[in-house]
Amino acid sequence: MSELVDLTATITEEMANHPNHGRSPLFLSGTRMNHDQAEDSWRGKGVEDLSLVNGFVYIAEHNGTHIDAPYHLHPDGKTIEELALSECHGPAVWLDVSDVGPYGEIGPDELAAAATEAGVTVESGDAVLLATGWDEHLPADRETYLGEHPGLSAAGAEWLFEREVSVVGIDCGNVDVAGDVSMPAHRVLLREGAPEEYTLIVENLRNVAAIPDHRFTFSAAPLPLSGATASPIRAFAIVD
């Protein structure tokens, strides 16, 4: 029997959200009824014992746990609905890189050492999830979570890209180091081989180190939002 490990941040209006992504998410009031109100409205239509509620959520493509499409960085790259499901679901490993601190760079040495320690080899087609532990700053300290996180160096991103990794996921708001607006890791992963070759990026993961086995199946399927640069996902690990 497989075990499922949820790696997704709960979506709330208060969640840590990069300012680039606007005033989002919003759960718009006025479109939501509670069950008492709904029952009254059905009763008004002559129907007893029924209430049915629904809501409306406004959310940026890059809010919460999400996957970036190549189009995020390249004009000829695939948009999110053009990705095959098989690109977002498959074999995976997770690496413990929690030794890097604030603004720490995860480079080839850290990746290689973490793979050795985990007893795994990063193979072509693997998703690689990086456990920095940075999600532990939430919900108490969103400033540190958003403003001081570690990330992949350009060389670290190259190390993964050269191994034809399918997806790089991280438990920070950004795969690049906080404050580096030149986005070296994003460039390598989504732009360097574009539009044909790319490594997808998943950000804002949770609980990566809770996956009981370093090798597992990772699922990160996006909504097929037409023309979108990213999509929120329900990220989870399937462990046999």
214 binds Zn ion (CB under 5 A): no
Each residue 23-42 as x (binds Zn ion by CB under 5 A) or -, in order, gives --------------------
Tell me the C-alpha distance between 1 and 89, whole Å: 19
Distance CA 147, CA 60 (A): 19
Binding segment for Zn ion among 54-62, 73-81, 98-106, 146-154 (CB under 5 A)?
54-62
Contact call for residue 62 and Zn ion (CB under 5 A): yes
Q: Segment near Zn ion (CB under 5 A), from 68-76, 147-155, 157-165, 183-191? A: 68-76
Q: 60 vs 106, which CB is nearer to Zn ion? A: 60
Residue closer to Zn ion by CB (options 219, 229) is 229
Q: Which residue is associated with the tokens 């929120």?
A: 232
Any residues with CB less than 8 A from the CB of 191 and at least 6 apart, and which? Answer: 70, 73, 74, 77, 198
Answer for which of 17, 60, 65, 68 binds Zn ion (CB under 5 A) is 68
b/e per residue, 141-162, with b = 16+ CB within 10 A? eeebbbbbbbbbbbbbbbbbbe
Measured in residues, the chain has a length of 240
* Beta-strand pair 57-58/127-131: unpaired
Q: How far is the CB of 136 from Zn ion (least distance, A)?
A: 21
Q: Compare residues 126 and 203 and give the one whose CB is closer to Zn ion.
A: 203
Task: Supply the minimum distance, in Å, between the C-beta of residue 217 and Zn ion.
Answer: 22
Q: Which residue is nearest to Zn ion (CB)?
A: 62
Query: Do residues 91 and 215 touch, judged by C-beta distance below 8 A?
Result: yes
Note the residues at the interface with Zn ion (CB under 5 A). Answer: 62, 68, 230
